[in-house]
Structure 1
Amino acid sequence: MKKLLLTLFVALGALATQAQEIKWMSLDEALAAQKKNAKPIFMDVYTDWCGPCKMLDKNTFHDKAVADYINTNYYAVKFNAEGSAEVSYKGKKYANPNYVAGRRGRNSVHEFTIFLKVRAYPSMMIFDSKGNVKEPIVGYHTPDQLMKVLKAK
Structure 2
Amino acid sequence: MKKIIYLLLFLSVSPYIKSRSVKDSVKWISIEQAGKQFLEKQKPVLFYFYKENCDSCRIQEETTFLNPEVANYINILFYPVKINAETKDSLKFFDGNYYKNSGKNGTIHDLVSKLAGTADSFPALVVFSRRAVGKSFFGYKDRDEIFRILIYYAEDIDVSTPFEDWYKYHKKGYPPGQKQIITRLKIRWKILDDALKQNTKEPRKLLLNFYNYNKVSSSLMRTQTFNQLQIANYLNEKYYPINIDVFSQDTLKIMGQTYINENKSYKYHQLPIAALEGKMTFPAFIILDEKEKVLIKVQEYMTPEKFEPLMKYYGDDFYKKENFNTFMKHFKSELKN
Q: For 2:46, what is the secondary structure of its paired residue? A: strand
Structure 2: distance between partners of 1:57 and 1:75: 17
Change (3 A) 1:53 1:69: same
Q: Deviations over 1:81-137 (max 9, x none)?
A: 101222112021101145xxxxxxxx721110121115210110101235x351112
Letter in 2 for 1:129: R
Shift of 1:148: 2.1
Change (3 A) 1:142 1:19: farther
- Partner residue, 1:33: 37
Structure 1: distance between partners of 2:41 and 2:149: 23
Q: What is the TM-score normalised by the length of structure 2?
A: 0.36
Structure 1: distance between partners of 2:21 and 2:58: 21
Question: Where do 1:3-42 residues align within 5 Å?
Answer: 16=20, 20-42=24-46
Q: Could you tell me whether the CA contact under 8 Å between 1:18 and 1:63 is conserved in 2?
A: no
Q: State which drifts further: 49-58 or 85-94.
A: 85-94
Question: Where do 1:56-75 residues align within 5 Å?
Answer: 56-75=60-79
Q: Could you tell me whether the CA contact under 8 Å between 1:21 and 1:62 is conserved in 2?
A: yes
| Cα root mean square deviation, aligned | 2.1
1:112 has 2:107 as partner = no
Structure 2: distance between partners of 1:139 and 1:87: 23
Change (3 A) 1:133 1:54: farther
- Partner residue, 2:136: 136
Letter in 2 for 1:16: R
Change (3 A) 1:18 1:50: closer
Question: Where do 1:87-98 residues align within 5 Å?
Answer: 87-89=91-93, 90-98=95-103
1:53 to 27, 34, 57: 57
- Partner residue, 2:3: none
Change (3 A) 1:133 1:45: farther
Q: Could you tell me whether the CA contact under 8 Å between 2:85 and 2:108 is conserved in 1?
A: yes
Shift of 1:17: 5.4
Structure 2: distance between partners of 1:138 and 1:93: 24
Structure 1: distance between partners of 2:134 and 2:124: 12
Q: Could you tell me whether the CA contact under 8 Å between 2:20 and 2:66 is conserved in 1?
A: no
Q: Could you tell me whether the CA contact under 8 Å between 2:49 and 2:125 is conserved in 1?
A: yes
Larger radius of gyration: 2
- Partner residue, 1:151: 151
Letter in 1 for 2:39: K
Q: State which drifts further: 138-147 or 60-69.
A: 138-147
Q: What is the TM-score normalised by the length of structure 1?
A: 0.77
Q: For 2:43, what is the secondary structure of its paired residue? A: coil
Shift of 1:29: 1.4
Shift of 1:152: 2.5
Q: For 2:24, what is the secondary structure of its paired residue? A: coil
Q: For 2:20, what is the secondary structure of its paired residue? A: helix
Q: Could you tell me whether the CA contact under 8 Å between 1:125 and 1:133 is conserved in 2?
A: no
Structure 1: distance between partners of 2:87 and 2:133: 20
Q: For 2:52, what is the secondary structure of its paired residue? A: coil
Aligned length: 131
Where does the alignment leave 5 or more consecutive residues of structure 1 unmatched? 1-11, 99-106
Change (3 A) 1:123 1:133: farther
Letter in 1 for 2:140: Y
Q: Runs of at least 4 residues of structure 1 off by over 4 A? A: none
Structure 2: distance between partners of 1:118 and 1:58: 26
Change (3 A) 1:70 1:118: farther
Letter in 2 for 1:128: S
